[in-house]
Amino acid sequence: MNERDIARIEKVTHCCLPSGYRELLLHFPPMLKAILETGPKDAREIFTDTATIVRWNKFFRDPDYEYEDSYGEMRTFPPHHIVIGANLGGDFFHLNIRRKRTAVLFWCHEDGEISTHSKDLSAFIRSIFRSACEFSVNGRNLG
């Protein structure tokens, strides 16, 4: 990813990317990218390409997109949030750019609840490595 890609993401989201996320995208660790590429492109904890980031942020920002929260209220996706990844269950990870500390948030598609997944981007990345290691060890034990 390069500065043009970052500018495209910022244009679509109407948000200035937090510095830590910007640096991650510009200097994505090869080992992390290799771990993430073992799964489906649209179900990666952190999206690794501009097109996927842009597509999901456009989807959630569509004026016609609403979701029902756990109280039965219809909501729209917060405009100051940036979708950065997803899991296989259809839940999404995102950042609230209004906060000084960039916690990674988790949006559950079943109940529309938003919760804190990791206290910051570094903790989130460590959790991805930890999950990959646990999967590797568990997979080896099964064989």
Q: How far apart are CA 138 and CA 120, in angstroms?
A: 27
The DSSP result for 99-127, as a single string, is SSS-PEEEE-TTT--EEEEESSHHHHHHH
What domain count does the chain have?
1
Q: Are strands 92-96 and 74-75 parallel, antiparallel or unpaired?
A: unpaired
pLDDT in tens, 110-122: 888 889 999 999 9
Question: Nearest Cα to 132, choosing from 53, 47, 33?
Answer: 33
| Measured distance CA(21)–CA(57) in Å, rounded | 15
Write the pLDDT tens digit of every residue in 18-74.
999 999 999 988 888 888 777 666 667 889 899 999 999 999 999 899 988 888 889
Q: What CATH number is attached to the domain comprising 119?
A: 3.40.1580.10
Residue ranges making up the domain that contains 134: 3-142
Q: What is the pTM assigned to this prediction?
A: 0.84
